[in-house]
Structure 1
Amino acid sequence: MKMVERIANLALAGLSVAPLVVKVDPNINVVLTACLTVFVGCHRSIKPTPPSETMSKEHAMRFPLVGSAMLLSLFLLFKFLSKDLVNAVLTCYFFVLGIIALSATLLPAIKRFLPKQWNDDVIEWHLPYFHSVGVEFTKSQVVAAIPGTFFCVWYALRKHWLANNILGLAFCIQGIEMLSLGSFKIGSILLAGLFVYDIFWVFFTPVMVSVAKSFDAPIKLLFPTSDSARPFSMLGLGDIVIPGIFVALALRFDVSRKTGKRYFCSAFSGYTVGMILTICVMNWFQAAQPALLYIVPAVTGFLFVHCIWNGELKPMLEFDESKAEEAKSSKDSAQDGEKTSESIPSKKEE
């Protein structure tokens, strides 16, 4: 599995820089980049402990409303304030976030080439005169922050599409790796809400397209085209991260049951089909399309049909990462207790 992950990482890196040296069809580039990013993020989400952030049912239900409020706020900011001013503030904000995200993305690879103590020894730094405010980090994280800072400076100064994409991919991978839906029920609620959200803001208002074109920040991936009137094709990060965390949940479900990657393959295949369908419809109508309109039914449809076919829909719907981890911890504690009791000889044995 590790070899497949490394190949996927190399393929994603190569695909990202390929348009600098060769002509790459933007449609193929969009599909391959999105699918490879989801693949990499999903496999990075497999950890001894569940992802640090778990979404609740209430959060899933509110997410489309919060997203709508933020989207409308950005639209109004660009309409009534200077576009350059808004983008300058956002550039500063994403400069800091970009360093953190890119450093975290590169850290596993960098760790392998550094001394072990650089990975283990934690350094504490406190703000002068405000000692209650501080951060903890390792030397490895400092080393990983160097290329992260370089790309962020490059992006802030040049706004080059490659720097934008490097930061955007880091955000996507970290989002899929760190976020957890907790259960397929919550994931279905979230995807259903964002399915409606995407359709409404793209088809019934000019808000989504307007913000995407005005927002000069790494919240979208840019793919160079040969059309001077439309130099770039765009793909929002949400079209990767949102379905990506659902696909990642399917992979962790497989891992918890030790059944290979059959349901991950179903969900991932659904995502690939959804992306291809999005590109086909977009080119057919020559208009922006809400990608989740095609991705959500494909991902959930492929996964649920596969589960129903195997007669495992109930176990899938009952799966809860937090409860699964608690059960595993209890089982491990019980086994440790048994080993301890076995290791202490009784008086009779003595």
Structure 2
Amino acid sequence: MSFTQAMAVYLPHLVSAPLLPLALLAIAVLALSTHSAADTTFQERQMQRQKEESGESVALTKVHAIGFGFMASLGLLAMWLWSNVLVYMSLFTFGLGSFVSIQQSMPNIMKRLGLGRGNSWHHNGVAGLLVLSWFWNRNSSHAWIFQDILGGFTISLMLKVLKASSMSSPTLLLLTAFIYDVFFVFVTPYLTSSGESIMEAAATGAALTVKETIPMLFRIPSFRPNGGEAMLGFGDVVLPGILVTFLRECDARLEEDQSLSSAILIGMDSATTRRSTALLLAGSTGENGRRRWSYYLTAVLGYAVGLEMTFVAMMWSNQGQPALLYLVPFTVVPVVLLASKRHELSLLWNGWGGLDGGESEDDDGDDEKGPGEENEKGKVLVI
């Protein structure tokens, strides 16, 4: 089948329910959650460090990334073997996580609506009402509405809690999840007596004998008489979202570094520094004075393409697909290529590390940082 023929067959499905609404939902949740979770100012980064020290937030490491595959595998096997018991634990966990995430999001939502920040009674009331509405209607035909709303808030909270300080950790996490996803979708049918995929059976609740469903996924019905729905696990948004959040922070840091370094050089009176200043300003704005393309948008657009490729593969094969098989390369590879072209891959891969507030070896201790400012020598080293 040629590309033109394939598009003629699959395009009507890609731009209609349930695939188009599911794609728009996943992309919107990814973009909004990562935009909100990113710490783009010096004050926000300081608060993030305090949260990590107090245990309110988790700094993702390579150990976490490698351990994810093992822990996720155990959890999936347990859900497959004891689904009738663990489904109730998943309902409780989802409801509690949704309540906390809505509660924490309410002050900003009310502020944006011009209603002030409200108080704890307002926040708890709205959160409790939404969670109870989902729980009461969880087995009805319109349960997906509440589940998708709560899922968006839950993912937003998870991305605020799970943060990365370099590109290496979330990339390793995605590679581990890539292998995990492919194994449990494509390999496990050859290992089970029924020939079923453990991932699909656990996600769809095929092994359940009680009238409940696993709530950890987005659901969009087909709105057709013969029924059916499209589903996407929360992990297919959260795991790429950790990398996308870090990339948004990178864009902000690089812009800060360029601006601060330019300001330093502008204060030096020589032809050499003036030429260096022009180069720095060109690097921050791109060619023809235009603002350069961001890593954040590169990753979001790559995620969107990867999601559409997942749907195409699903229709072509007529079976469920491991979304991360397509999401990981389309999200990671464009960013790596762009960073390599700009000679910034090493910086992104290792992060800023000790440059935050640290002293260089030739620092005589005379330089002081004012409130809300970062060490200027460290900034110059980044460029």
TM range (shorter): 0.7 to 0.9
SS of 2:105's equivalent? helix
Give yes or no for the alignment of 1:297 onto 2:329. yes
Evaluate the alpha carbon distance shift between residue 71 and residue 158 of structure 1 in structure 2; reply closer, same or farther with a 3 A threshold. same
User: Counterpart of 2:61?
Assistant: 56
Could you list the runs of 4 or more consecutive aligned residues of structure 1 that deviate by over 4 angstroms after TM superposition?
112-115, 227-230
User: Counterpart of 1:288?
Assistant: 320
Give yes or no for the alignment of 1:99 onto 2:91. no
User: Counterpart of 1:245?
Assistant: 242
Distance 2:307 2:91 in 1: 29
Amino acid at match of 1:53: V
Q: Deviations over 1:188-229 (max 9, x none)?
A: 211111110000011112211011111724310000103555
- TM-score, normalised by the number of residues in structure 2: 0.69
Q: Count residues with an aligned counterpart.
A: 286
User: Counterpart of 2:22?
Assistant: 30
SS of 1:334's equivalent? coil
User: Counterpart of 2:262?
Assistant: none
Give the CA deviation at 1:61. 1.0
CA RMSD, aligned part only?
2.6
Give yes or no for the alignment of 1:311 onto 2:339. no
Give the CA deviation at 1:102. 1.9
SS of 1:222's equivalent? strand
Give yes or no for the alignment of 1:213 onto 2:245. no
User: Counterpart of 2:231?
Assistant: 234
Paired residues for 1:156-195 under 5 Å: 156-159=135-138, 160-195=143-178
Distance 1:232 1:323 in 2: 48
Give the CA deviation at 1:272. 1.1
Paired residues for 1:69-148 under 5 Å: 69-78=74-83, 83=84, 86-111=86-111, 113-114=114-115, 140-148=119-127
Unaligned 5+ segments in structure 2 are 1-14, 49-56, 189-196, 206-211, 256-283, 285-291, 374-383
Match for 1:153 among 119, 123, 132?
132
Distance 1:230 1:114 in 2: 41
Unaligned 5+ segments in structure 1 are 1-22, 120-138, 340-350
Percent identity, please: 23
Q: Deviations over 1:136-184 (max 9, x none)?
A: xxx6343122221111111111111111111111111222233212211
Q: Is the 8 A contact 1:94 1:217 kept in 2?
A: no
Give the CA deviation at 1:230. 4.8
Amino acid at match of 1:102: I
Q: Is the 8 A contact 2:17 2:222 kept in 1?
A: yes
Q: Deviations over 1:10-31 (max 9, x none)?
A: xxxxxxxxxxxxx962111121
Evaluate the alpha carbon distance shift between residue 255 and residue 57 of structure 1 in structure 2; reply closer, same or farther with a 3 A threshold. same
Q: Deviations over 1:237-294 (max 9, x none)?
A: 0001100110111110010111566111211121111111111111111110000000
Evaluate the alpha carbon distance shift between residue 144 and residue 88 of structure 1 in structure 2; reply closer, same or farther with a 3 A threshold. same
Give the CA deviation at 1:303. 0.1
Give the CA deviation at 1:334. 1.6
Distance 2:93 2:237 in 1: 21
- TM-score, normalised by the number of residues in structure 1: 0.75
Q: Deviations over 1:106-145 (max 9, x none)?
A: 3311145455xxx6xxxxxxxxxxxxxxxxxxx6343122
Q: Is the 8 A contact 1:110 1:140 kept in 2?
A: no
